[in-house]
Structure 1
Amino acid sequence: MGTPQTEYAKIIRWYPQQTVYGVRMNVTLPTAASIGGRYGNGFVNFYLAGLGVEAGLSADGPNAANKQFHWFCNGGSGSNGQYNFAAGSTHSIELSMSGTLINFKVDGEVKRTITQSSKSVSKTLNDARVIVAACDQNYPSTPPKPLDPWSTTMNQVVCSNVQYRNAAGNWVTFSTQPDATAYFPALPNYPHVGTPQDFVRVVSSGQLIASLKK
């Protein structure tokens, strides 16, 4: 059994609250990000999820410092993309059903196709959601009390044209509101120390702008 780890992280989840067959959005990456946790294993990522698959754009500490991002997909086989997306650039990402298969696309190109492993396969993208996440560090064991001061920041990420695909095959703009920020380890037992305590966010129809400021 491996060593347990606990992410020191915060995330925004945005659900369409509909039965959907796909989700997509454009992501304008932050122009700068700094990941400063003492273990050096934090990250920022912006992704789509559903049916146990998580896929989108991300940067770890060293690559964030170099202003480079890549695509990732937690699901299916194959390696993730190279760190060749520049900070501040805009890319489209999509996670959608093709029969019972799940396709992940970046800039219109299929990067990975996932075959469902469950015996009871789904033709809908269950638990579909949009995620903006930041992890300051991943503790190699039980997190300390108090937690370390939070030291990860990023300029704004812009998630625009956030849409879901309905049963008729039409893409529909999200009209719900994102959930409140979720904290890991969870509040109130583990208060997140220092600034920022929360994302600065601006939400409008089909758009989420989020940043972590000092």
Structure 2
Amino acid sequence: MADTVEYAKVVRIPVANAVKGFSTDLKLPSSFSIDAGGFINFHVGFGDYECGISTASGQSGWRWFANSGAVSGTDAGGNFGEFKNSDSVNIRLESAVHSGSVYKVKFYVNNVLKHTFSPSYTSSTTFTGGRIVLGAAQATYNVDAIPNPLPAWKILHAQVMTSNTKYKNTNGTWVTVNSSNSDPKPDHTPKNRTMDRLHLVGQ
């Protein structure tokens, strides 16, 4: 099977410290336009876990999703239309008590549990790569068949806002993400291509 790469643009808001959770309030865009086959997602994550809110071509609303590269077969999600443009939504991913001394990674939307991942952890388990990602992908190409030049970028959306962004540290305390512990960066794939300027608002 050929390796593939997404034609995507993202802004990552990472923290360098080990985490037990990540949370943010999102103000979804008031409008969006997506080329056929593309999608937009805004998610929190750590390690191989990524959970958030997304929409896709052919849809008028948004849904929650929960993915993990470390958990085989993970592709949980709600129905498109569960959230609408301009909604304010809190998304929270954390390692939380499941039963007795067993901890599991759980995803909450507006404080409602949406998904529990299967791997078990302990109260001392921490994760690297805590982050928010604001991104969109227009297409997927085989790595040996990437168009050059790339097609015009056709995914557009109104401003997305993030606020009240926090990570749960190794002591279990929620810490506000700010310029002293995070360095937001725009990124894109495929590499070695010109990237339009991206704007991050509301960290």
Tell me the TM-score normalised to structure 2 length: 0.84
Q: How many Å separate the matches in 1 of 2:11 and 2:75?
A: 27
Where 2:62 maps in the other structure, the secondary structure is strand
User: Is residue 51 of structure 1 aligned with residue 53 of structure 2?
Assistant: no
Q: How many Å separate the matches in 2 of 1:79 and 1:12?
A: 23
Q: How many Å separate the matches in 2 of 1:170 and 1:122?
A: 13
Match of 1:114 among 117, 141, 148: 117
**Partner residue in 1 for 2:67:** 74
C-alpha RMSD of the superposition: 2.4
Q: How many Å separate the matches in 1 of 2:8 and 2:67?
A: 18
Q: How many Å separate the matches in 1 of 2:171 and 2:120?
A: 26
**Partner residue in 2 for 1:211:** none
Equivalent residues of 1:162, 1:174 under 8 A apart: yes
User: Is residue 22 of structure 1 aligned with residue 15 of structure 2?
Assistant: no
State the 1:135 CA deviation. Answer: 1.1
Equivalent residues of 1:58, 1:71 under 8 A apart: yes
**Partner residue in 2 for 1:166:** 169
Q: How many Å separate the matches in 1 of 2:21 and 2:197?
A: 29
**Partner residue in 2 for 1:11:** 10
Stretch moving more, 170-179 or 27-36 = 170-179
Q: How many Å separate the matches in 1 of 2:27 and 2:191?
A: 29
Equivalent residues of 1:19, 1:124 under 8 A apart: yes
Percent same amino acid among aligned pairs? Answer: 28
State the 1:12 CA deviation. Answer: 1.0
Stretch moving more, 88-97 or 160-169 = 160-169
**Cα offsets for 1:137-187 (capped at 9, x unmatched):** 223662111110111111011111100112332211102344321110013
Matches within 5 A, 1:9-158: 9-36=8-35, 40-63=36-59, 66=60, 68-75=61-68, 77=74, 79-83=76-80, 84-98=82-96, 100-116=103-119, 123-139=125-141, 142-158=145-161
Where 1:23 maps in the other structure, the secondary structure is strand
For structure 1, the 5+ residue unaligned runs are: 209-214
Q: How many Å separate the matches in 2 of 1:138 and 1:61?
A: 14
Letter in 1 for 2:184: D
**Cα offsets for 1:38-79 (capped at 9, x unmatched):** xx211111001112011100000111xx2x000001135563
The 1:11–1:91 alpha-carbon spacing in structure 2 relative to 1, beyond 3 Å, is: same
Letter in 1 for 2:5: T
Equivalent residues of 2:76, 2:115 under 8 A apart: no
Match of 2:190 among 185, 189, 194: 185
Where 1:112 maps in the other structure, the secondary structure is strand
Letter in 1 for 2:110: D
Letter in 1 for 2:12: R
The 1:137–1:61 alpha-carbon spacing in structure 2 relative to 1, beyond 3 Å, is: same
Q: How many Å separate the matches in 2 of 1:143 and 1:97?
A: 38
The 1:81–1:105 alpha-carbon spacing in structure 2 relative to 1, beyond 3 Å, is: same
Where 1:201 maps in the other structure, the secondary structure is coil
Tell me the TM-score normalised to structure 1 length: 0.80
State the 1:134 CA deviation. Answer: 1.2
State the 1:122 CA deviation. Answer: 7.3
Q: How many Å separate the matches in 2 of 1:32 and 1:151?
A: 14
